[in-house]
Amino acid sequence: MVSPEHIPGDGSHIGRYLGHGIGALRQEDPDLYRLLELEHDRQRQTLSLVASCGITDPSVLAVTGASIVNVTAEGYPGNRYHAGCRYVDEVERLAIERTKQVFGAKYVNVQPHCASFANHTVMQAVLDPGDTIVGMALDQGGHLTHGSPVNLSGKLFTVHAYGLDEHGVIDYTHMAELARTHRPKLIVCGTTSYPRTIDFDRIRAIADSVGAYVLADVTHIAGLIAAGLHASPIDAAHFTTTCTFKQLYGPRGGLIMMGRDAEALAADGKRTLSQRIQSAVFPMMQGSPEVHTIAAKARAMGRLLDPAFRELAERIQANASALARALTAHGYDVIGGGTDNHIVLFRAPEKLNGLIAERALEACDILVNKNKIPGDTRSATVASGVRLGSNTVALRGLGPSEMDTCAELLHAVLDAVEPGDGGAFHLDDAVRTQVSAEVRRLCRDFPLPYDPAPSADLVGAGTEH
Ligand SMILES: *Cc1c(COP(=O)(O)O)cnc(C)c1O
């Protein structure tokens, strides 16, 4: 908790400015203010097991609302196209230094607006249109920007996609075959729904055998990597990208990082790989950076450097393992046989599909997402699987024994729900009431950080259905 002398008073210009902003919003635009308040309460009162979510720390949010946003700062620290950049230069240097420290990186670019942009930027730095890349198929757990046909990455480049083997593990043998046959310039790895450890060294060895670069997009597991709980790709890959809002609990934004290859010469022999990234971010892909977001990244990195983060990361992992175990005990088919990270992917019961499971659970204030599973014949908007993640429940302070409770609640709903046409379903009122009440109890006992009155107004709250 923040001690009272740190709550900004009359002596703090920035604090009063931010406070004025909220007051003005409430007075001048009550409609929007009400929606923001409702959204805030929705987050407090629901149990989010959405794997691609985190909770941005209030101190990070305060930074994103600060007046530093007013600075237009094209270029890099010490080399801008506008005056007035003295402090944004210091802030950007701070964000870079802290990020280097968190990830043990030699080069960091903190300007990418998001992880998708970071991936496109790496591709623009080292590829020409028409070049060949190898990436993970979207429906196997890759990301759109890894070469999906509906994404720019799939339109600009010739893509050969790998996926999972029959055990649900990345098919490194197929990746190596694709590399041998098609001689790609880039191999993209990193996943959105993969519960197992990624072998970055093995991927680098495959890439080296054909002279390809490796891009590791670690968006989903960046927090575990920062905490040393998953092998780091910083040196194994040429380029590592991530967003900052999922497992790093920071602002919405992206990063590009490099390790031992930062000073390696690019194929043209003239510039280093990190110099190519610098000019690919600006001026090739982006204009002025979001300086408030860069400041918020610095704040998020500061929090990651606090030893307390390792405890959180350990709880993320322990919770996911406990969830996987408990669901297996309830008879669910957990894909990959368990989890090494924050993700648990399981097959929805035979009578249901992913969409109905997601909707029925949301009716009881438990948030998950439908997800395709290996060999899935359903479309991504229906899907046969359910993906869970433990980032938010770990932040709330729930531990492995509460994961048993969560698994029981999930099972109570999925067992009781009766499918209707399309995405419709019927859920017994008694089950819904009982599970919602239990969810409210968990949210009250394990409030989000800085929840001002966790016990008072959560009793009997609940969402409108
Ligand atoms: C979420 C995700 C992204 C997209 O991140 P944005 O910052 O929203 O662009 C990219 N790659 C992977 C692997 C992701 O999981």
Give the tens place of pLDDT for each residue, 54-93: 999 999 999 999 999 999 999 999 999 999 999 999 999 9
Residue 17 domain-assigned?
no
Give yes or no for a contact between 190 and 182, defined as CB atoms under 8 angstroms apart.
no
Q: How far apart are the CA of 241 and the centre of ligand 1, in A?
A: 9
Give yes or no for a contact between 247 and 102, defined as CB atoms under 8 angstroms apart.
no
Q: How far apart are the CA of 116 and the centre of ligand 1, in A?
A: 6
Q: How far is the C-alpha of 275 from the C-alpha of 334, rounded, in Å?
A: 44
> At residue 158, does pLDDT exceed 50?
yes
Q: Which residues pair with 385 in a beta bridge?
A: 347, 371
Of 304, 335, 355, the last residue of a domain is 304
Q: What is the pLDDT of residues 307-365, one digit of tens each?
A: 999 999 999 999 999 999 999 999 999 998 999 999 999 999 999 999 999 999 999 99
Closest CA to 191 of 241, 238, 141, 147: 141
pLDDT at 241: 98
**Torsion over CA of 98, 101, 105 and 107, rounded to 10 degrees?**
30
On whether 144 is known to bind a ligand per the annotation, the reply is yes
Q: 462 falls in which pLDDT band (50, 70, 90)? A: very low
Helix (H) / strand (E) element for 40: namely: helix 30-45
Q: How far is the C-alpha of 156 from the C-alpha of 245, rounded, in Å?
A: 28
Ligand 1 site, residue 193, Cβ cutoff 6 A: no
Pocket test for ligand 1, best of 143, 148, 189, 387 (most atoms within 8 A of CB): 143
Residue 33 domain-assigned?
no
Ligand 1 site, residue 339, Cβ cutoff 6 A: no
- Does 322 lie in the same domain as 240? no
pLDDT at 152: 97
Question: Residue 326, exposed/middle/buried by CB under 10 A (0-12, 13-18, 19+)?
Answer: buried
Of 277, 304, 331, the last residue of a domain is 304
Residue 298 domain-assigned?
yes
Closest ligand 1 atom to Cα of 218: 13
On whether 142 is known to bind a ligand per the annotation, the reply is yes
pLDDT at 459: 43
- Does 428 lie in the same domain as 407? yes
Q: What is the pLDDT of residues 394-431, one digit of tens each?
A: 999 999 999 999 999 999 999 999 998 888 999 999 99
Type of residue found at 13: H
Give yes or no for a contact between 415 and 376, defined as CB atoms under 8 angstroms apart.
no
- Does 335 lie in the same domain as 229? no
Ligand 1 site, residue 371, Cβ cutoff 6 A: no
- Does 374 lie in the same domain as 268? no
% of the chain surpassing 90 pLDDT: 89
pLDDT at 457: 53
**Domain total for the chain?**
2
% of the chain surpassing 70 pLDDT: 97
Q: How many CB atoms lie within 10 A of CB 316?
A: 25
pLDDT at 422: 80
Q: How far apart are the CA of 31 and the centre of ligand 1, in A?
A: 31
- Does 409 lie in the same domain as 266? no
Q: What is the pTM of this model?
A: 0.95
Pocket test for ligand 1, best of 138, 191, 219, 371 (most atoms within 8 A of CB): 219
Residue 388 domain-assigned?
yes
Of 243, 271, 304, the last residue of a domain is 304
Closest ligand 1 atom to Cα of 190: 13
pLDDT at 184: 98
Ligand 1 site, residue 207, Cβ cutoff 6 A: no
Closest CA to 19 of 10, 28, 31: 10
Helix axes 354-362, 400-416, angle to 10 degrees: 110
- Does 230 lie in the same domain as 84? yes
CATH number for the domain spanning 209: value is 3.40.640.10
Q: How far is the C-alpha of 40 from the C-alpha of 279, rounded, in Å?
A: 39
Closest ligand 1 atom to Cα of 52: 1
- Does 320 lie in the same domain as 275? no
Task: Find the domain containing 341 and state its range.
Answer: 309-445
- Does 331 lie in the same domain as 286? no
Q: How many CB atoms lie within 10 A of CB 387?
A: 26
Task: Write 13-16 long-range contacts (CB < 8 A, 24+).
Answer: 14/66, 14/67
Q: How far is the C-alpha of 321 from the C-alpha of 311, rounded, in Å?
A: 15
> At residue 1, does pLDDT exceed 80?
no
pLDDT at 460: 44
- Does 297 lie in the same domain as 203? yes
- Which protein residue has the closest C-alpha to ligand 1 atom 3? 115
- Does 401 lie in the same domain as 328? yes
CATH number for the domain spanning 420: value is 3.90.1150.10
Give yes or no for a contact between 65 and 18, defined as CB atoms under 8 angstroms apart.
yes
The rounded Cα 291 to chain-centroid distance in angstroms is 21
- Does 186 lie in the same domain as 86? yes
Q: How many CB atoms lie within 10 A of CB 339?
A: 26
On whether 398 is known to bind a ligand per the annotation, the reply is no
Q: 268 falls in which pLDDT band (50, 70, 90)? A: confident
Residue 277 domain-assigned?
yes
Q: How far apart are the CA of 218 and the centre of ligand 1, in A?
A: 9
Residue 75 domain-assigned?
yes
On whether 238 is known to bind a ligand per the annotation, the reply is no
- Which protein residue has the closest C-alpha to ligand 1 atom 15? 192
- Does 346 lie in the same domain as 271? no
Averaged pLDDT, 184-188: 98
Closest ligand 1 atom to Cα of 243: 7
Q: How far is the C-alpha of 105 from the C-alpha of 103, rounded, in Å?
A: 5
The CA-CA-CA angle for residues 300, 252, 128, to 5°, reads 115
Residue 16 domain-assigned?
no
Residue 159 domain-assigned?
yes
Averaged pLDDT, 84-109: 98
